[in-house]
Structure 1
Amino acid sequence: MTSERSGADILIETLTELGVEVVFGYPGGAVLPIYDALFKQDKIRHILVRQEGGAAHAAEGYARSSGKIGVVLVTSGPGATNAVTGITDALMDSIPMLVITGQVGTSLIGSDAFQECDTVGITRHCTKHNYLVKDPAELEGTIREAFHIATSGRPGPVLIDLPKDVQVAQARSKPMPVHPGYRPQTEPDPKLIETAVEMLAAAERPVFYTGGGIINSGPAASAALRELQALTGAPVTSTLMGLGAYPASGDAWLGMLGMHGTYEANWAMNQADLIVNLGARFDDRVTGRLDAFAPNARKIHIDIDRSSINKIIRAELGIVADVGRAMEAMIALWKQRGHKAQDLDNWFGRINGWRALKSLDFPNSTTEIMPQHAIRRLWEATKHRDPIITTEVGQHQMWSAQHFHFEQPNKWLTSGGLGTMGYGLPAAIGAQIANPDALVIDIAGEASIQMNIQELGTATQYNLPVKIFILNNEYMGMVRQWQDLTYAGRYSHSYSDALPDFVKLAEAYGWKGMRIEDPAALDGGIAEMLAYPGPVMVDCRVAKLANCLPMIPSGAAHTDMILQANEVSGEMDDEAKALV
C-alpha cells in the first residue's frame, strides 16, 4: 500500500490481502470507523453475533472446522472484556485467532474515559501476543506479524488494540521486517527421529498417545498418523482434543484416555513399555496422579511447543517439531531401514482382555431415555453424513466423546483446556459459516446452552441450519455427579430450577422446537430433526441421575477407574484385577 489510507481502511485492506473472508463481531463506539470501512467493501463477510463472547467462540468454531484463522472484531471496554473467556479458551486449545479491539483515543488512554480498559494488560496472559498500535503507519506490519504468530508454531490468539484516532488517521504503511523475532521450529532433528524410530521398532508394548496438535497440523498429519500406525501396528489412544485424527473404527483404536476414558486406554498406557506422545501435553485429566502415571514406560514427546516437553512428565526423548513433519520423517526412515511391525499379538491379547470389560456399557431403560443411548442413536442416524459435532461442557460433552465415533479430523469441536460452558452454540454457528453444506449439531446440556443462548438469533439472521440436541436432565450434571462422589450427595445449587420451555424459546427465535420424552420416540424425533431444513432445537429429556463413567476420581491414579459395575464402591472387581 503506497498511498495514504485511514487506519480503518489499512486494516480491512490488509485482512483482505491475507485471505480473511469472515469476521465475527459486534459494533460499538470505539470501532465505528472500522465498521464504516466494512460497509464500503464486499470482500469480507461480517457475522453479527449477539454478545462478544459469542464472537470469540464462533471464531473458534470457524477456525477449528476449517483450518483457517478466526477473526474477531469488538469494541473497547466491555466489548473486549466480554471476549476474554473465548480468547483464553483459544489459548488453552491452541486455536488460531486474531482479535481486534477498539480503544479510546490515544490522548484519553489512562484517563478512565468512557468504555476504556487496559485491554493489553488484561489479555497479556491469555494471548500468544498482543499489541497496542499508536501509529497507523505501523498497522499493516502489525497485522501481518499478528497473523504469523497466531497461525505458526503452536497456534493461538493474538490481539491488536486499536485506538479510535488511529483508525481515523491517514498514513502510508511503513515496510517492516518479516517477523524477525518469532521463528518456531517445525522440522525435526534427524538424529532424534532416528532414535525415536529405533525405540519404536524395539518396543513390545507401544502406545501412540495422540492429541489436538495432530489436528492443528492439518489433514496431512492425520494421514501420517494412520500410515505410521499401519507400519508399526501400535495401538492408538487420544485426548479429548485429538478425537478424529485416527478413525474410531480402526482395529487399533483404544478410545479416549484420561478421566472419562476407556478402561483399555488407561490400562494400556499404564502397562506400556513405550508411550509415543504425538501433539499432546500430558495434562492432569490424562495423567491422574503423576507419581502413578505409566511407571514402566519410556516416553517420547513430540510437540511444536518447546515449553510443553518435560513440563509435566519427564520424557526420555523430546522432539521439538511440527508433529505432522515429525511423523512423516519417522515413516520415511522406518521404510528406509526396512523395519517391520513387531509381533504385538501378546500385547493386543492383553488389550482385548481389557476391552472385554466393555467399560462404556451402561444400563438401558424402556421407561426413560438414557443419555448415552441418545448419543449412540444420534451417531447411528448421522454417521453417513459425517457431521460436525460441537458441545457445551459437562456430562453431555464426555458422553459425546465416548459414544459419538469420529472418523475424520476437524469434525469434533469442544472446549477442552478451559472447559467453557456456552461454547457449543456459537462454535456451531462458526462451523456452519465455514462449512455451509455440512450437518452441524451442538450436543448440549440444559444448563450450558443457556450460557450463550442469545446466539440463536445469530443463526436465525444468517439462515444457518444448526441443530441443537439438548440432553436435559434438569441438573448441572457433572457438578451433581461430583457432589454425589465427594460431598455425600449434598446437591448445593446444582439443580436447574426454573428452566425455560425450550420448545417455545426456540420458536420465539424462529427455530423449530421439539421435545422427546419417550425412548420409543427417540429415533423418530432424531429423524424429524435431521429432515427439517432449518435450525432445530431438541429438548431430549433424559434420566436425571445417570453418571458419566468410567471416571477417575480427582487425585487418583489413572488406573483407579470407577466403572458402571463398581460405581457404588469404586473398587476394582476380581475380573478386572486379573487382566492387569
Structure 2
Amino acid sequence: MLTERPTEDKAQEKSGADWLIETLDELGVEFVFGYPGGAVLPIYDALFRQERIRHILVRQEGGAVHAAEGYARSTGRPGVVLVTSGPGATNAVTGITDAWLDSIPLVILTGQVPTSLIGTDAFQECDTVGITRHCSKHNYLVRHPAEVAATIREAFHLATSGRPGPVVVDLPKNVQVASAPADTVPDRIAHRGYRPAGAPASADIDSAIEMLAAATRPVFYTGGGIINAGPEASRLLRELAALTGAPVTSTLMGLGAFPASSPQWLGMLGMHGTYEANMAMNRADLIVCIGARFDDRVTGRLDAFSPGSMKIHIDVDRSSINKNVRVDLPIVADAGQALAALIETWRARGKTAGNLSHWWTMIEGWRAKKSLSYPASRAEIMPQAAIRRLWEMTRERHPIISTEVGQHQMWAAQHFDFEDPNKWLTSGGLGTMGYGLPAAIGAQLGDPEALVIDIAGEASIQMNIQEMATAVQYRLPVKVFILNNEYMGMVRQWQELTYASRYSESYSAALPDFVRLAEAYGWKGIRIERPEDLDAGIGEMLDYAGPVMVDCRVAKLANCFPMIPSGAAHTEMILQANEVSGEMDDEAKALV
C-alpha cells in the first residue's frame, strides 16, 4: 500500500538515483561504504553532485559490508553499503550473512541490470534477491523510480527496528536513470505484516519478578540484544543486577553491556567461557536470558544444559524463543523496555535482594579455579599476556576493539576487560575471518577521536588486508595488533585435541613480512619478538598518530583454554592442557 506525498511539489522531477541520495540524506546517513561498477554509475554520479554524504571507497565489496558493520556496531546507527551488480553483490553476501546472524542494522544497495534484461543472463547479472533471501532480514527489487524513496525509508525502518539486521535493496540501472515527478512519489510503504515487539506484557513481568524474588541461585544470561537496544539498556541491566544481587554472564556478542570490573561479573560463558560462568549456568535454579538465543556455543550438550533451572527468555525476536531450549516464561519484548519494566515492578512491589550468600560462596569456589590462568614464559610471548598488557596500557582511553576470528578472538574476549557497550566488535554467529580490519575502519569513521585497535591473527588478517589502503586514503589512525603464531591457531588446536595432532594444512609456510608490508601501504610497522620488548612496542604503537601494524610474535603452540569440547556439557570443561575438570566422565574424555 502506497501513501502519496502532498501535491505541492508536483513540479519537481528527479531520477531514481537522485531520489535515492535525497532520501539517504533525509535519513541522516553520513557515510556510504562502497565500490563502483557499471550498474551503479548513475548513483555514483548523483553522489558526485552532492556534498553531504561521504562515500568511503573500500578495496573489495566484502570490506564495505564489514566496515558498515563496524560503524553500525560502534555508533548504534545503521550502516549503508553500495555495490554493483553480479560480483559486487555476491562479494557482499558473506558480510550480509554476518550481519544477519549478529543482528547488525545495515542497508545494502545493490546495482542490477535493467529490468528488461533480468532473466537473460546479461553481463554481471545475478539473482540478488534470490541469493540474499535467506541471509537478510528482508530484500526488495525496485521496479520504478517513484518507488525508490519509500522503499529506502521502509528498508531503514526494517533494519533498525525489532531485531536489527541487514536489508537489501536491488536497484536496476534503468530505475536509477528514469525520472519520477514528486507527486507520484509516496512517503512510505505501509507494511501491514511487520509489527516489531516493544513493551512487555505486564503479566509476564509480574511473573518474572516473582520468579526472581524466589530464586536462591539466579543468574542473568545476557547477549548482544542488550547492546542493540541502546546504551540505556546496558545501564538498566546494571541497575537490575544491583537490585537483585544476582551474578551476570554474557555471550561473546554481549561483552560490554555489563562492566567487567563489577564483582557480580562472571565473565563470558560458553565454549571458551570461564569456569565460574559455565558452572553457575549449570547449577542455577533460575536463568534470566535477555537478548541472547541459546546457541550451541553457549549451551553445549542440550540435554545437559542447566538441568535444574527455571528459565525466563526475554527477546525481541519471537522466533528465537523456544527454538533451541524450552523456557518456562517467554517474554517477547525489546530488551530495554523489558529491563525498565522489571526494575519498576521490583521497586513497586517492595522487593529486596534475597540472601544469596550460599550461591556466592559456590561461585567464589569456582572462581578459585582461576580458569583464565595460563603458563608463564620468559622465553617467548604468551598471547594471553600480550592481550592483557594491551588492555592495561590502553584501558584509560576506553578503546574500541575489533577482532578477526580464531584463537586471538577468544583470548581478546577472555583477557580484554570491557566496561561499556559498543566497544567490542567481533564476528560471533558466522565467525568471519577478515572482519576485524574493515570493522575497525568503520568504527574509526564513526568516532574519529577514538583509539581503535583490531586484534588479529596472521592468517585472518590476510583475508581483507587490502583495506589497509582504505585507512590510508581517509587518514584513519587504526591500529592492528597481530598475534603471530604462524598457524591457523584454532584449527591447529582442534587438530591437536581431536585429530591426534595431525596438523593438516593449518601451518602458514609462507607469510609476508608484516612490517615491510605495512610500510608499503603507508603504515608504520612494528615487530615485537621478546617478552621484555612488549611494553615498548605497544607504547610505540600508541604514540604514533597514524595507522600502525604490530607483528607480535607469540608462542606458536599455545592453546585457548578453558574449553568445552563440541557436544560436551558445561561440567566437562578442559581447563588447561593435560588438565580436565574432575567431573569430566569417560564419555566426555572420548570427545577430545
Equivalent residue in structure 2 for 1:85, among 74, 94, 100: 94
Match of 2:320 among 295, 308, 312: 308
Give the CA deviation at 1:174: 3.0
The one of 149, 153, 156 aligned to 2:162: 153
Cα distance in 2 for residues equivalent to 1:347 and 1:364: 32
The residue aligned with 2:118 is: 109
- Of residues 367, 383, 405, the one that matches 2:379 is 367
Structure 1 equivalent of residue 84 of structure 2: 75
C-alpha deviation, 1:176, in angstroms: 3.9
**What letter corresponds to residue 105 of structure 2 in structure 1?**
P
**Equivalent of 2:48, from 34, 39, 42?**
39
Gaps (5+ residues) in structure 1? 575-580
Aligned to 2:265: 253
User: SS at 1:441's partner residue?
Assistant: strand
Counterpart position of 1:522: 534
How many residues end up aligned between the 2 structures? 572
Equivalent residues in 2 for 1:88-167, closer than 5 Å: 88-167=97-176
String of CA shifts for 1:203-252, please: whole Å, max 9, x gaps.
00000000000000000000000000000000000000000000000010
User: 2:464 matched to which residue of 1?
Assistant: 452
Superposition deviation, residue 324 in structure 1: 0.7
Give the TM-score of the pair, scaled to structure 2. 0.96
**3-state SS in 2 of match to 1:442:** strand
1:181 deviates by 2.5
Within 1, Cα distance between the matches of 2:21 and 2:94? Answer: 25
CA contact (8 A) 1:148 1:179 kept: no
Residue in 1 that maps onto 2:446: 434
Instruction: For residue 180 of structure 1, report the CA deviation from its aligned partner.
Output: 2.9
Could you tell me the TM-score, scaled by structure 1's length? 0.98
Match of 2:24 among 15, 18, 29: 15
Kindly state the Cα deviation for residue 471 of structure 1 after the two structures are TM-superposed: 0.1
Aligned mates of 1:95, 1:380 — CA distance in 2: 29
Distance 1:378 1:550 in 2: 21
Task: Give 1:558 shift.
Answer: 1.8
Q: How far apart in 2 are the matches of 1:572 and 1:152?
A: 46
State the identity %: 75
Query: Which residue of the other structure, out of 5, 8, 14, is the alignment partner of 2:14?
Result: 5
Equivalence for 2:69: 60
Unaligned stretches of 5+ in structure 2?
A: 1-8, 585-592
What code does the residue aligned with 1:404 have? Answer: F
Q: Which residue of 2 aligns with 1:324?
A: 336
Q: Give SS of 2:464's match.
A: helix
Paired residues of 2:571 and 2:583 also in contact (CA < 8 A): no
Correspondence 1:337-348 to 2 at 5 A: 337-348=349-360
Deviations 1:457-514 (Å, cap 9, x if unpaired)?
0000000000000000000000000000110000000001100000000000000001
Q: How does 1:216-231 map to 2 (within 5 A)?
A: 216-231=228-243
**Residues 9-61 of structure 1, C-alpha deviations (whole Å, 9 max, x = no match):** 00000010011111000000000000000000011000000000000000000
Contact 2:572 2:583 in 1 (8 A): no
Q: Given that residues 421 and 451 in structure 1 are in contact (C-alpha distance below 8 angstroms), is that contact kept between their aligned partners in structure 2?
A: yes
Out of 29, 32, 35, the residue aligned to residue 38 of structure 2 is: 29
2:566 counterpart SS class: coil
What's the offset of the Cα at 1:555?
Answer: 0.8
- In 2, Cα distance between equivalents of 1:233 and 1:382: 30
Conservation of the 8 A alpha-carbon contact between 1:208 and 1:235: yes
* TM-superposed deviation, 1:191: 0.4
Return the offset for 1:139: 1.0
Q: Which of these residues, 570, 576, 580, is aligned with residue 558 of structure 1?
A: 570
In structure 2, C-alpha distance between the alignment counterparts of 1:451 and 1:202, rounded to whole Å: 50
Measured in 1, the distance between the counterparts of 2:417 and 2:107 equals: 31
Residue matched to 1:334: 346
Q: Which amino acid aligns with 1:71?
A: V
Give, in angstroms, the shift of residue 541 of structure 1: 0.1
Tell me the SS of whatever aligns to 1:191: helix
Q: Distance in 1 between matches of 2:187 and 2:326?
A: 44
Distance, in Å, in 1 between the alignment partners of 2:514 and 2:138 is 40
Q: In the TM superposition, what is the alpha-carbon distance from 1:570 to its structure 2 partner?
A: 3.5
How far apart, in 1, do the equivalents of 2:19 and 2:138 lie? 21
What secondary structure does 1:563 align onto? strand
